[in-house]
Each structure stands twice: as structure tokens, then as C-alpha cells.
Amino acid sequence: MSQHFSLFDRLQSPVWIFDIDHKRIIWANQASLPLWESSSIEELVSRDLAKDMSQAVHAILDEYQQYFHRGEHIKTWWNFNPKQKQKKALCCFSGFTLEDGRTAMLVEVIADESTLRRELAFAECSNLALLFECQGDLISANDVYAHEFGSLLQDLAHFLGDRQLANAWLTEAQANSVIHRQKLCWTGKQHLWFDIEGKWLQDKQQLLLHLTNISPEKEKLRKAKYNAEHDFLTGLLNRRGITNAIKKSHHDRQPYSLLFLDIDGFKLVNDTYGHAIGDKLLRAIAIRLNDTLQQKGLLARFGGDEFIIQMERRFITDSSLFAKEIIAVLNRPFHLKEVGELSIGCSIGITHYPDDAIDIETLVTQADMAMHRAKLRGRNRSHHFSPEMADALYRKMTLRHHLTVAMEEEAFELYYQPIVDLKSRHLKGFEALIRWHDEELGQVSPAEFIPLAEETGQIVPMGRWILESACKQLAAWQKKYQRKFIISVNLSRAQLQASLAGNVAEMLELYQLEPSSLALELTESTMLQEYDDAKQCLEDLDALGIELHLDDFGTGYSSLSQLQDLPISTVKLDRSFVQGEHKGSQAIIEATQAICEKLDLKVVAEGVETISQLEYLQNCNFDYCQGYYLGRPMPPHELEARNFSLLNAVPIKRIML
């Protein structure tokens, strides 16, 4: 191979062939050895350069190979560190076809950094230089400097813009012989960034500065920093920008308020008119917020349709009043010529430094919590952070972790509450209710963990477990007591999938149950979300012969036409009406019974706790009821032990539990 590259070996500049695929140098000339800190060609080609190569370099080399396939070459500075020594060389990279047909990289070093710097230092025509006497007065500037910037510069203090700094430089140069800095300096004509290498001329007691103009690089860095800290759409600070700005301001310890804004109704605008209109609306919102703030604080687009305002309390003392002002400002219609007027709202969370927290990350989290509380309370309002919110969030995070573990271990159990036939006074069946006791958290209410399971998507496997466990228990009871019961199981909206009817049919077949012995309960809102999809799933379940119950009736927003249209067999009246003592509750009870009778629907009254409630429901001709007066939810073994007569279908007067 050395004969094949003998022509390159005669070159005085370093040249080598790099195998991109295997990340090795496969040939190099003698001039390469000092640059690579190598004692021999054999040692150099034996190195595994992939070992310390980053993924970024891998990607760059792959990109270079594409250039080589197009016949192009690359000229650039290249950094490398042979034997942990940082080096930089100006290289020309080009493709080189190997004997096996693969494309390698031919590298020719045009100049290394140290050599190039020495050459520039002695080249009058290409290097800027200034000479100062020991007190800092300017002795002379080279022709290049004078041609570029004139002769207005007076002394080192003038150049650096600081008399004390100039004296410090002179002292350091005399003590160390050299000085190296990057500094924004006054040339006598303009301010520029220079890379400055100073040398103290001991025999003449003078300071010689060699200057390299790095202003273009600094401007690129400045623009990169600006882009990194500003939102491209609105021009406001972004998340990083406001975080950095607030951290810098913490040294003066001035109290401030932090407002977290979320635009109500923005998603509807995006979905209706598209992202281009949404972007225009965000820009218009940013302008209004800026005008309202009037430079009394910092404003940032935190992401999406979220904004953050930081305002010192010496400028705005009442954060709640200012939040109301912002809400009023954003409530005014926005006019966009493409679509006309658009109306939005705004929910705001408020927290305070240093009263609520002293670090920006915690303050943002607190303001975010308060904003979500404002949304829960009706939107288009503000809410202050309180420690209880943090406790609630911690509780939610803890629950989420424990719930995941409980799902894996199936650490739940089902309780069953009797449902009584008021006409025959016999047991109709049971409602299956999930219970969860955690060793660390204790008894966790379904009202707390069911919404969390729905939020995380865990409700689907949980619902499948509930359904199968209830079917298994029902089959066991029917076999043990030789009579039919009906088991009611609650379903979440997430479970209303196309596969649900098939899964239910499999369970019925597995446990040898008649479809009519299983009832599935859904709330009004559950049935009526994405109505068409839900209706098809319910019709598939109804085709199996399963009963479908509408739970918590009266608390949702169903219409009578939808009640008539959906394949519902039974309506369950919410306990709040059964337990209500005013005439309005009685009117709703009687109206519900009358409507369901006309629609040929059965009615179950929930929450029966007294004999008077039971007698009233009987007088209203209700079909079924359930509640603590007749039986609390209990695990199967306790239900069997305490209510054997109930399970054997003895007529019910009252079940004392």
C-alpha cells in the first residue's frame, strides 16, 4: 500500500487516508506523525479511532461521505486530540476510492493552528498589531490596523475602555510575559470583539498585542443565544429566556409575582381555522400582553398557548387586580382579516417570590398548579397558589405510582351491594364496586383513584379485571345457590371500544352465564361523549342480550330523545334526589318515574337510607332500589356469612348491616 501512495509521501504537509467505515487511518505519510503524536506509521494505523469518537462525529463523517459520492471536497478546520492533546488543523477532505470499491477519505492538512498563528504574527499585511509603552500609552499601530481603523486610538485604557483593567493587563503581562484574552474593545472607530494575544517585550519594556477580529463569530453566538432564549413566533422570551432572566435578577432579592397564563378556547381556534390562524392569534395576544405590561416586568411565551409574566411588586402591588385586567384585555374580540372576530378567554395562576418559593422552577410549577385550579373553577379567572395544591399534586403523584404497582399485582377486590326488587321484595342482584386498600396509603376511595385511572389509561385493564372478576363471582353464586342473580358492572367511556362486545361474549361463554344476568352501567356523560361511536358499541352489547343501565340519572345532560334512541333497559336515579328533602327532589323523582314508565324503562333508586325513603319510592311505583338501609357494599365472604337468607331469595323486609 505504501507504494500505491508514494506520491503523497513526498508531500511536506501531513496527508493520510481514513477508512470511514472502520474508523481507522489505513495510510499516512511521515509528515503526519508529529501532528498525531505518533512514533511510527505502524503505530498510527493500529489505533482504533472509533473508541473515543462521539455520535456527532460519526454523523458528520457519514455526511462527508455523501459529499464524496457527489465528487465534492470539503475545506474546514478540524479539532482532534491525539494522546489527549488538543489540536486544530485546517484540512481539505476529499473522497478516495479503495481497491475494494469503498470510498475512504483523503485528508490533507493545509495548516495547523499554531503554525498559522505564528505566520500571521509576523505578516505585517495580514495581522493587526498594537504596541504600548509600559504606562499604557500607544506607541504605534501596524499599517493594517491604521488602514482599517485610523489613528484616533490614544492608549491601552482607551482601547479596553477601563483604566483599572489596562493597569491590570500591564501588570500581568510584565509578571507572566504573555496575556491572552477575548474582549470587546474600542478601536478608535468602533467597538469590536478581538482575540488578543499579548507579549511583554522585556528589553524594551513594551506590550505588543496581536489582534484577531472575532466579531463575526461573537455576533453569531449572540444571535444563537438570542434565538435560544426567544420565541420565534412572537419575539417574546421563551421558557429558557425568562428562566435565565429571572435567575439573574434574584441577586437583588426584590419581591415579585409570577403569573402563569393559559388561553381558554385556543385549541378550538386551531382546530377550526388551522395553525396559521392560530399563530396569528398568538402574535396578537403577545402584543396585547406587552401593551398591558408596559415594561413593568418580563413576558414570555412558555409554550403552546401558555404565557408567563414576572412583575416586581414595587411596580404592580396587587397581582389579583392586574390578573383581572389581563383577563379583561384578552376577553376583547381579536380581529383577524382572514376570519373576522375571534373571542377567547384566559385562566391565570399566581404565585409570589419569596413568599411561596425562592427558586424559579418551583415558582413556575406552583403558578401552573394555580392556573389549573382556575380552569377547574370555571376558566376565565385567576387563582392564587396555596400549599394545599402542592399537597394534592404530591398525593396524585404518589397515588399514580401506587396504582401502577397495584395494577401489576391486581391488588384490588370487589364489594357487592344488593339491589332489591320493590314489587316482589326479593333480591334482584348486586352492583359490583371496586375497592383498593394500599399498605402505605390505607383505604383509597374509588372517587380518587378511578378518575386517575381514566386519566392515565389504566381504566381499560382495570375495567377488564372488574368485569371478569364479577362474572366469575356471579357464576360461583349461581352454582352455589341454584338461582339467578344479575350483576351490575360500571363501565368507563374509555372501555366503549369496538372490541368490547366480543370480549364480553368471551367472558359469558367462559363462565357459562346467560347474557341477561349481566348489566353494564354507564353515566349520562359517558354515554353521550362521541355519541355515534358510543351508540354503536352499546347496540353491539344490546345484541348480545346484556342489560344496559344509565347511572346517576339527573346529574348529567342527556336529552329525552337520546334516552329513547339508546338501547337502555334501566335508569338509575341519582342518590342526591332520593336523599333530598325539598319538594324539588320529590318532583324530580316522580317525573323520572313517569317518563321512564312512558319509555318502557325500569327505574332503580340509589342511596336509600331510611324507611321513609323506601316507602315513598314504593308509593311512586319504583321497580328497584339499593342503599345502606337495605345493605352496604361488602366482600363476597362477608355477604355470604351475614346474608345467607338474602342470597337464598327470602323476601326482604330490611337487611341490618
pLDDT tens-digit series, residues 497-523 = 888 999 999 999 999 999 999 999 987
pLDDT at 508: 95
Nearest to 259 by CA among 289, 226, 294, 229: 289
pLDDT at 113: 58
Beta pairing class for 74-80 and 24-28: unpaired
Q: Is 121's pLDDT higher than 50?
A: no
Fill in the amino acid letter for 301. Answer: R
- Cα 572 from Cα 579, distance rounded (Å): 14
* pLDDT band at residue 8 using 50, 70 and 90 as cut-offs: low
- Cα 486 from Cα 626, distance rounded (Å): 14
Query: Any idea which residue has 383513584 for its cell?
Result: 449
pLDDT at 58: 73
pLDDT at 396: 83
Percent pLDDT > 90 in the chain is 47
Peptide bond preceding 567 in cis form (omega within 30 of 0): no
Fill in the amino acid letter for 655. Answer: I
Residue 633 and residue 433 in contact, taking contact as beta carbons nearer than 8 Å: yes
Q: Is 116's pLDDT higher than 70?
A: no
Q: Is 620's pLDDT higher than 70?
A: yes
How much is the mean pLDDT over the chain? 86
Fill in the amino acid letter for 329. Answer: V
Nearest to 22 by CA among 40, 2, 45, 38: 45
**259 - beta bridge partners?**
309, 350
Higher pLDDT, 284 or 536: 284
pLDDT at 526: 65
pLDDT at 649: 46
Q: Is 562's pLDDT higher than 80?
A: no
321-379 pLDDT per residue, tens: 999 999 999 999 999 988 999 999 999 999 999 999 888 888 999 999 999 999 988 88
Region 238-265 average pLDDT: 88
Region 283-304 average pLDDT: 93
52-68 pLDDT per residue, tens: 776 667 777 887 888 89
464-488 pLDDT per residue, tens: 999 999 999 999 999 988 888 899 9
Q: Is 545's pLDDT higher than 70?
A: yes
* pLDDT band at residue 143 using 50, 70 and 90 as cut-offs: confident
pLDDT at 529: 58
pLDDT at 376: 86
Distance of CA 445 to the CA centre of its chain: 28
